[in-house]
Structures are given as structure tokens and as C-alpha cells.
Chains A and B, each alone.
Chain A
Amino acid sequence: MSAPAAPPAAPATGARPARRPRDLSQLGVCAFLVLLGALVVADAATLSQGLVDDGVVGPRPVPYVVGAGLVVTALVLAVDVLRGGRGEAEDGEDVDLSAGSDFKRIGLLVLVFAANVLLVERLGWVVSGALFFGGVAKLLGGRSLLRAVAVGAVLSLLTFYFFWVVLGIQLPPGVLDGVL
């Protein structure tokens, strides 16, 4: 997704300016929808019709409809954006809509997540999970990395044994194979 470097400042809480600047970063959403739609249609076109001509019952009509729907939606959305429409960003208990997006933090979070995916089977669930928890907590403003990792270790140990003993699912033990 094309993430905007600096989204236009969200309207100040309560001030509700009558006219807000157009949020053109939303056109990235349109581009994404068009690409996805094209992908769906192109993929459907490669499907073979089969030995018998199954016509409308075949595997193609629905992807065509979905792909077309994506493209049409993208166009309507583009018009809406150009006319100044904007999505109501989701509010929440811990969300401060007046603050700008912190994309550096998002990038780092994604990296920590990716590291966890790469490590989970090598280091094992417990070690990788503890590091993951600690890394995320630190990134989100936790004070002590060490304490966060300790909390994460407790969590991942508990879940490891819960899944093993109660559910009969063995999460990867990794480097602690034999110890656990």
C-alpha cells in the first residue's frame, strides 16, 4: 500500500473546520483496488474452461464480477476523493486522531514482526516469542526492554505448555529442544 509520508493534519479535535484539505493519499487506495481488480481478472482469464463447456457454471464468472467490482469501486472512490471526500479514520480508546501517523514506528514494528516470523522455527516459540513481545513493548513506549522480555518469556512459556499439554499441539521448541 502506498503509505503517505505525512498525511495532512487531521482536523483538530472539536474544531471541525468547514472545509478540510483534500486527502489525496487516498488515491493510493484507488490504485491498490485497481491493481487488485486487474490481478483477479487476469488470473481468472488463465483458467481453462475445462473439457466440457461449463459456461456460467465455470470458475470464471465470479472472479470477473469481483474484479470488475474492484475497478468500478476504485473509480467511484477516486471521484469521491477528488471532490474532497475522506474516510472517517477509525476512532478508539487509545487512538489519538489529532496526532499524525508515526510511520517510523509502524516500519519498526513490521520489522520486528518479520524477524519473529523468520526466527520462530529456528529459535523456537519460547525464545522468539519472548523477544517479539519484548521488542513490541519497547517500541510502543515500554520503559525497560529487559522487563518486557521477561514478561514475554513467561507468556510464551505458559502458552507453549498450554498448547502442548492441554491442546496436544506442539509449538516449535527450537533451540530449547530437549530443555522444555
Chain B
Amino acid sequence: MGDLAALLGGFGDALTPANLAFAAIGVVLGTAVGVLPGIGPAMTVALLLPLTYALEPASALIMFAGIYYGGMYGGSTTAILLNTPGESSSVVTALEGNRMARSGRAAQALSTAAIGSFVAGTIGSVLLVATAPLMVDLAVGLGEADYFAIMVLALLAVTAVLGSSRVRGFASLFIGLAIGLVGLDAVSGQARLTFGVLQLIDGIDIVVVAVAIFAVGEALWVASRMRRSAVEVIPVGRPWMGREDWKRSWKPWLRGTALGFPFGAVPAGGAELPTFLSYVAERKLSRHPEEFGKGAIEGVAGPEAANNASAAGTLVPTLALGLPTNATAAVLLAAFMSYGIQPGPLLFQREPDLVWALIASLFIGNLLLLALNLPLAPLWAKLLRIPRPYLYAGILFFATLGAYATNLQAFDLWLLLGFGVLGFAMRRFGLPVLPLIIGVIIGPLAEERMRTALTLSQGDWGGLVADPLSVVVYALVALVLLFPLLRRFLPARLGGRPAPVPPSDPGVDLREHEEVPR
């Protein structure tokens, strides 16, 4: 009951005019960047991190949460209207959504995505309220060694399970861990990897790394392979759904939510797998299986709900354990840290007002998004016509602003450029960027936990596995590492019929899909 009262208190804080305004700014901005190509919610929050110097923690985090949810809504718009999902989690939405749009049902596809996202986001937020305190209760009893084990699991899970090539994921992770090493070692006071450069003593600012990898890397990557032909945007009217559309949508929304949330909440879930599973499930359960591949509304409703529910689920480990599992949550964590607040079990005790205001703002943001998206969809679609040179020049401009304003030193801009080139090379060579970001953020925290645990055990490595829980977690780690062997048996069971999108490699099918004569 205490949580409910706290949540109500959170609504009180989140509903002040100022915070309401920040929530509104957040969702508008989030939707816009979700729609805009080349720029996503993670990059946007990274670019806005300098604002944390001027804003109250609650206001800034409410705005960032709005961007997080808004980005999910906006992402479906591009997937449906352009058939070019900006994020891997909207790949499945594009399958049926774009077919619907092509057959003149763009409005219905956008509505079922928006309403489904609202339903899933709201239920997901309720589940967040219900499960986060439970996870906190569990986590409070964790020792340093257990915590270290869980961090290792999260790092490896993000690296090994998501993405199509594990070795490339590990390459990215280790680069991130190496970046995280730079700076003064907190325990011994010795400088690591600074090469005598004074500005590196404090370590490399996560803002600079995140902005460089997400924004500069992406801008360079797009610049190297700019699409010459103008993209074709399918015109939309005002979204609405007929009775039949509602009838066919509501069950997929609920099923998608049920699939998405748990996947988001575990440290290895992500949004790709549940959206795919939801798609397969809907195709199996549909009374119109023949429509799949030609624009079945269930194929939009389910995956979109799964996508948003997973976004809400991701906040559970982010807030309760301090372990983000997607890029936006990782940058959100960086925002907490720039206020000197460490998310984790103690967050709910030390900053209850902040956490509950943030959670309350999720409900408010969802409602705002629904109100914003249904009537304004045609307007959002116009954003797709923004001239590309200006768009990417703007991204680079704001990237330099974000990196420079953090410390007001030109040195950070050199770092920005260097890591930007790294981000470009990673995209070129198919190295996923998420493990790097998570490695930079979690790596130093994990090292600290490990060394504290080892100090407590007086240097005995056995101290890391003294607790049964950590042993269980390491068993899970082993399972994650052996996953490819197990996965060989999975697809046959998952699909029944040959699946249209192999879960391991959504990119391939996308290309096939794009081949449709225009």
C-alpha cells in the first residue's frame, strides 16, 4: 500500500505546471526524433544531457522519460510510412504496417500502433510500479559479489544475445570497457590509460562518448552512403479505426504487452525478440492468416504493443538495479549519474520523490502521446520531408554543442571526433554500438564492486562465489555463453511454419521485403 501512496505523491510532483510542461516537451521531442531518420531517443537524451546542469533532477528526468516513450511512438511512424525501421525493435512493425500503408490503410496502421502503444505503455507502467519495489526488496539483500555477478551477466547478455554476430558484440564490449578504464583509479589513485594527458585524469565523459557514438558516428555513416533517391512517403489522413479494426486489435495489444514486459525486465531481453514472437503468435492465432504479408492489422498491433511494453519493462532493472539493457536506458542512467544519483536498490529509499515522480510521469507521458499522436499524425509525417543536408548538419552541430558545453573545453571536441570516427567504423563493420555504451557505463561500476568484494574476502577470489546467488548467476552467464548451441533447436519450435523473419537476423528479411515493386 505504501507504494500506492508514494505513486500518488509522485503524481502530485509530476503534475506541477512546470513538470507537466517538461513531460510535454519530452514527448513532443521524443516523437519528433523517433520520426526523424538518423536520430533516435538515445542520441537525443545524450545531446540534452548538458541541460542537467540547469534543471532540477525531477524535471530533467521527466523530460528524458518522455523522450524515451515518445521515441517508441515515433519509430513506428517511419516503419509504417517509409518501410525503413529506424530501430531494430520496429523491424517487425514495418512488415505488416508498410503493407497496410501501401494498400491505403496507413491511418489504421498508425492508429493501431498508437493506441496499442498507449495500452502497452500504460499496462507496462502499472507492472513497473508493481515489480520494481519487489526487485528492490530482492536487491537490497545483495552483497557486493552478487552485484558484481549480476553486472557481469547484464554485460554479457546484452553483448551475446542481442545482435547478429557475437564476436562483433564482444569486440564492441571490450572497446567500451577499455574506454571505461581511462582515468584515475579510485582505489589506488593511479592514472590508467591517460598517457599524461591532464584532461583524461577524470576519465572520459560518458556524454562525449554517447554523443560521439550515436550522433557523430551516425552522421558520418549516413554521409558515406547517402540515399540518393528521395524517400517515398505515403500520405496519411487523420488516423481512425473502424469497428472491425478494434475487434482485431485489442487482443494482440494485450498479448503483445504480456510478451514485451517480461523480456524488457530481464537483463538480456531487449525488444527485438518479443516483437518477433508477438508477430509469430498473432499470425498463428489470427482468423485471417492469409492476410499476413499483405497488411494484417494484428501484425502491427501486437509487435507495437510488445515494443512499448518492453520499453517499460526495461525501466525495472534500470531503476531497481542500475542496470540498463537498451541504449536509451543507458543514457538515462548517465543522466542520473550526472546528478550524483546512483540508480539501484537504494534509489527508492534515498530519492523516493524523484523515482515516483518519474514513474508517474510515464503515465502522464503516455496519455499525452496518445492525444498528440492520433490527431497530429499527418503533421509528424511531414517531418520526413526535412532536407537531409540540414538534418545531418543539425545533428553534428548539436553534437558539438552537447560535448562542448559539458566541460567547455575544446579537448572534448577532439575526443568527440575520435569516437565519432570509431562509431562510423563500427557501423561500417557491423559492430553493434550498444555493448560499447553499456561497457563504458557499467564497466567501472562492476570493477568497483569486484574490488570491494575482493577486499572484503581479503584478496581471495573465492569471495566472488561465496554466495549461492552469485553461483546461480554465473550459471546463467554460462547459459548465455552457450546460447548459440541451444538456439539451433529453437527456430523449429518457435515458428511451426517457416518463419518469415529469423529472429537472429531480421536485416536479411527486411531487404527481401523491400524488394516489392513500388
A-B contact pairs, 13 of them (CB 8 A): A16-B511, A40-B193, A54-B188, A70-B174, A73-B170, A90-B221, A94-B37, A101-B225, A106-B224, A113-B216, A137-B393, A141-B226, A172-B408
Docked-complex contact A43 and B225, CB < 8 angstroms: no
Minimal Cβ-Cβ distance residue in A for B177: A66
Indicate which residue in B177, B422, B430, B510 contacts A89 across the interface (CB closer than 8 Å). Answer: B430
CA distance A169 to B167 in the complex (A): 43
CA distance A48 to B189 in the complex (A): 11
Docked-complex contact A137 and B390, CB < 8 angstroms: yes
The 8 closest A-B pairs by CB, nearest first: A87-B430, A93-B37, A142-B389, A14-B515, A137-B393, A140-B389, A136-B393, A167-B54
CA distance A139 to B455 in the complex (A): 55
In this assembly, does B49 line the interface, its C-beta being within 8 Å of a C-beta of chain A? no
Question: Inside 8 A of B37's CB, which chain A residues have their CB?
Answer: 92-94
Question: Inside 8 A of A157's CB, which chain B residues have their CB?
Answer: none
Task: Write out, one digit per residue, whether chain A residues 43-77 have a CB within 8 A of any chain B CB (1) or not (0).
Answer: 11001101000111111001100110110011011
Q: Give chain A nearest CB distance to B231 CB in angstroms.
A: 7
In this assembly, does B69 line the interface, its C-beta being within 8 Å of a C-beta of chain A? no
Docked-complex contact B401 and A1, CB < 8 angstroms: no
Indicate which residue in A14, A88, A96, A142 contacts B225 across the interface (CB closer than 8 Å). Answer: A96
For chain A, residues 91 to 146, give those with C-beta under 8 angstroms from any C-beta of chain B.
91-97, 99-103, 105-106, 109-110, 113-114, 116-118, 120-121, 129, 132-134, 136-142
CA distance A93 to B53 in the complex (A): 33
Docked-complex contact B392 and A62, CB < 8 angstroms: no
Q: Give chain B nearest CB distance to A47 CB in angstroms.
A: 5
Docked-complex contact A56 and B461, CB < 8 angstroms: yes
Docked-complex contact A117 and B431, CB < 8 angstroms: no
Best-buried of A43, A94, A96, A155 by chain B (most CB within 10 Å): A94
Docked-complex contact B404 and A113, CB < 8 angstroms: no
Question: Inside 8 A of B164's CB, which chain A residues have their CB?
Answer: 88
Task: Write out, one digit per residue, whether chain B residues 187-225 have a CB within 8 A of any chain A CB (1) or not (0).
Answer: 110101101000000000000000000001011111111
Docked-complex contact B224 and A59, CB < 8 angstroms: no
The interface stretch among B247-255, B290-298, B446-454 is B446-454
Docked-complex contact A33 and B387, CB < 8 angstroms: no
Indicate which residue in A152, A171, A172 contacts B397 across the interface (CB closer than 8 Å). Answer: A152
CA distance A25 to B219 in the complex (A): 22
In this assembly, does A18 line the interface, its C-beta being within 8 Å of a C-beta of chain B? no
The interface stretch among B103-111, B259-267, B410-418 is B410-418
Docked-complex contact A151 and B390, CB < 8 angstroms: yes
Docked-complex contact A171 and B223, CB < 8 angstroms: no
Q: Which residues of B contact A (CB under 8 A)?
A: 37-38, 50-51, 53-54, 78, 82, 84, 86, 164-165, 167-168, 170-171, 173-175, 177-178, 181, 185, 187-188, 190, 192-193, 195, 216, 218-228, 231, 387-390, 392-394, 396-397, 400-401, 404-405, 408, 410, 413-414, 417, 420-422, 424-425, 427-431, 443, 447, 450-451, 454-455, 459, 461, 505, 507-508, 510-512, 514-515
Q: Assuming A56-B454, A109-B223, A167-B53, is B397 touching A132 (CB within 8 A)?
A: yes
Docked-complex contact A99 and B429, CB < 8 angstroms: no
CA distance A155 to B396 in the complex (A): 12
Question: Inside 8 A of B220's CB, which chain A residues have their CB?
Answer: 106, 109-110
Docked-complex contact A62 and B388, CB < 8 angstroms: no
CA distance A58 to B185 in the complex (A): 9
Q: Assuming A106-B424, A136-B392, is B84 touching A92 (CB within 8 A)?
A: yes
Question: Inside 8 A of B417's CB, which chain A residues have their CB?
Answer: 110, 113-114, 117
CA distance A113 to B404 in the complex (A): 13
Question: Inside 8 A of B387's CB, which chain A residues have their CB?
Answer: 142
Docked-complex contact A73 and B224, CB < 8 angstroms: no
Docked-complex contact B430 and A58, CB < 8 angstroms: no
Q: Give chain A nearest CB distance to B344 CB in angstroms.
A: 20
Docked-complex contact B397 and A155, CB < 8 angstroms: yes
Q: Give chain B nearest CB distance to A86 CB in angstroms.
A: 7
Docked-complex contact A140 and B188, CB < 8 angstroms: no
Minimal Cβ-Cβ distance residue in B for A87: B430
Docked-complex contact B50 and A116, CB < 8 angstroms: no
Indicate which residue in A73, A110, A138 contacts B421 across the interface (CB closer than 8 Å). Answer: A110
In this assembly, does A17 line the interface, its C-beta being within 8 Å of a C-beta of chain B? no
Question: Inside 8 A of A118's CB, which chain B residues have their CB?
Answer: 410
Docked-complex contact A29 and B222, CB < 8 angstroms: no
Minimal Cβ-Cβ distance residue in A for B35: A93
CA distance A163 to B312 in the complex (A): 32
Question: Inside 8 A of A85's CB, which chain B residues have their CB?
Answer: 165
Question: Inside 8 A of A97's CB, which chain B residues have their CB?
Answer: 225
CA distance A159 to B405 in the complex (A): 11
Minimal Cβ-Cβ distance residue in B for A77: B167
